Every structure is written in structure tokens, then in C-alpha cells.
Amino acid sequence: MLNKTQFSDDFYEKLPKKPYCSDDLGYGVVIRPKRTAIQKPYIQHNPPCLVSSLVFDIDRQDAYFAWSDANLPTPTWIAKNRQNGHAHIGYMLLAPVCTTHRAKQNVIQYLAKIEQAYSLALGADRGYTGLITKNPCHGTWENHTFGVQPYDLNYLADFVELQELKTDLKEVSGLGRNCMMFDTVRYWAYKAIRAHRGSTFAIWLGKVLEQCQNANSAFIEPLPYSEVKATAKSIARYCWKKDGYHYQEFIDRQSRKGKLGGIQSGIIRRKDSVTEKSLG
């Protein structure tokens, strides 16, 4: 069990080195070292391209009880607005999930399905981007920590029925955007890479990034540029490596066929020569 001090230390440890933060979201966000950002009522809880906590925005008076009403596990924390009862409910993960080119896409999709299921069960705001949360270590909010250990993904999944990710642009949110952008652009990239044989990786990456930005612009709440760039790198590197390998295999096959054809032609010519001599 984690006490309040241990939770604060753990939350602080998992923050980005320089989080977005704000005193008032109406005036936007700024980037500050985390020793400064932790003193702000609003803070970026997940590092770029890494999910260490799932956070849900509940915009109703009884937000505090949403997890209990939905028969979900006890949250790691709840940061509640004292005036209207609206709250952010956070679940800290045992093993943070990477969303860069180093990540396994099936793990990201698994986490996205869990996030989607919890959001629906909680009646959370589907437009919430997940970038900034009410700081559960700041006195502006009525903060509750529950002493639970960080959660394993499989344990979280046991409480909900996972469904396929939404594909309607009006409904796609959270990590579902990462998955949809990845799938949309990768199918384009599998064929488009052929036109870039003999080009440079930098040029190819630029084209993939352009496609990812176009896909991202279709979302009601677009992803941060860091997430778009990470997805573009993932797709570009995969296709560049795979196409190069398969194209070289094709060249090698053609070369072998050519050599085999030459050998067979030589055998035929020698047979014809022997035949001519015997007839002569």
C-alpha cells in the first residue's frame, strides 16, 4: 500500500523532465522544469510518447463516485474540483507503455482498448486529450489517494469488456487516435515506399510525416506533434527496412535467374555444336 507521501514521490518521479503546466488553462500552458511545474494546479502527467498513467475527465457533480458506480478498480488518485464536483480520475500503470517506433503496436492497441472501455464505463469526456491533468499534489483541488499499487494492464482489462476501437472520427479519442493514424498511414506506406527506392530515408520520412499530419488533422482533438512524429518514424523505419530487404531479394532472384539462364544457354549451344560435328 502506498501512503500519500509515497504517492506524491511516485507521481513526481514519473513526470516529464519539463512538463506542460498552467495556473489557468484559459491562458494556455507553458513548459517548466518539473520542480516548478509540480507547484501548478494543472500539469502534464505523461512524458512524451510514454503512458505511465491513464487519466479520465468526468464532468459531472458525482464524478468522485464514477469508478465505484461502474464497478471499476479503485483509482490511484482523484483530483476533484471543490466548486462543481468535476474530477480527474487517474490509474497509474505498473509498466509504462511506450508509443514510439520502439513500441509493439499490439500493446498500444491493447492499452487503447482498455482506455476506451474505461472512458465509456465512467462516462468520461471523450474530447479530453489526456495531455494535462488536475495536479493531484496541488491544494487547489480536493485530492484523494487510495494507497493502491500501480496497475498491470491485464488486471485493468479484467473489469471491462474490450471492444474494437472506434473508427468514426467524431468518436476517436485518446490512444485510439494513435492506433487509427498508424493503421491509416501504414497501408498507404506499404505501396508508396516503392516510389522512393533509390531515394534517401530523410525524404521518405518527410513524406510519411506529411501523411501522418494529414491524418491527425482530421481528429476533433489532434494529437501532439511529438506523437505524430513518433508514429511517422515507426512507419517509415519499418517500411524502409522491409522494402529494402524484399527488393534486394527480388534483385538476387533476378540475378540467379539470369545466371541460370546463361548456364542453360551455354549447355544448349554446346549440345548444338556437338550435334553439328557429329552430322558433319
Looking at the predicted structure, is the pLDDT value of residue 267 above 60? no
* 211 in the same domain as 126: no
Exposed e or buried b per residue across 101-133, where buried means at least 16 C-beta atoms within 10 angstroms of its C-beta: bebebeebbbbbbbbbbbbebbbbebebbbbbb
* 30 in the same domain as 146: yes
Asked if residue 274 belongs to a domain, the reply is no
C-alpha to C-alpha distances, 44 to 5, 73, 121, 211, 252, nearest whole angstrom: 20, 23, 24, 27, 51
Q: How many residues are there in the chain?
A: 280
Helix axes 201-216 and 225-279, enclosed angle (nearest 10): 130
* 50 in the same domain as 118: yes
* 152 in the same domain as 45: yes
Cα separation, 227 vs 206, in Å, equals 15
* 25 in the same domain as 129: yes
Beta strands in the chain (DSSP E): 20-22, 30-31, 42-44, 50-58, 77-80, 87-98, 132-134, 142-145
Asked if residue 74 belongs to a domain, the reply is yes
Asked if residue 166 belongs to a domain, the reply is no
| Domain end among 157, 183, 199 | 157
The three grid cell numbers given for residue 5, joined into one nine-digit string? 507521501
Cα separation, 239 vs 178, in Å, equals 18
Cβ atoms of 179 and 109 within 8 Å: the answer is yes
| Domain end among 114, 130, 157 | 157
Q: CATH number for the domain including 239?
A: 1.10.340.50
* 96 in the same domain as 32: yes
pLDDT per position as a tens digit, 62-104? 999 999 999 999 999 999 999 999 999 999 999 999 876 566 7
The whole-number average pLDDT for the span 26-44 is 95
Asked if residue 247 belongs to a domain, the reply is yes
pLDDT per position as a tens digit, 110-142? 998 999 999 999 999 887 878 899 999 999 999
* 140 in the same domain as 217: no
Percent over 90 (pLDDT), the chain: 51
The Cα diameter of the chain in Å comes to 112
Asked if residue 207 belongs to a domain, the reply is yes
Q: What range does the domain containing 257 cover?
A: 175-268
Cα separation, 212 vs 210, in Å, equals 5
Asked if residue 277 belongs to a domain, the reply is no
Asked if residue 187 belongs to a domain, the reply is yes
Cα separation, 113 vs 160, in Å, equals 10
Local confidence band at 252 (pLDDT 50, 70, 90 cut-offs): low
What pLDDT is recorded for position 151?
97
- Rounded to 10 degrees, the C-alpha dihedral 65/68/70/74 comes to 110
| Domain end among 126, 157, 188 | 157
What pLDDT is recorded for position 49?
83
* 19 in the same domain as 48: yes
Q: 99 by DSSP, 3-state: which?
A: coil
Cα separation, 157 vs 276, in Å, equals 80
What pLDDT is recorded for position 199?
84
Total number of domains constituting the chain: 2
* 147 in the same domain as 68: yes
Asked if residue 249 belongs to a domain, the reply is yes
* 122 in the same domain as 80: yes
* 26 in the same domain as 68: yes
Q: 42 by DSSP, 3-state: which?
A: strand
The three grid cell numbers given for residue 108, joined into one nine-digit string? 498500444
Q: Is the pTM of this model over 0.75?
A: no
* 184 in the same domain as 109: no
Judging by beta carbons within 10 Å of its beta carbon (0-12, 13-18, 19+), is residue 267 exposed, middle or buried? exposed
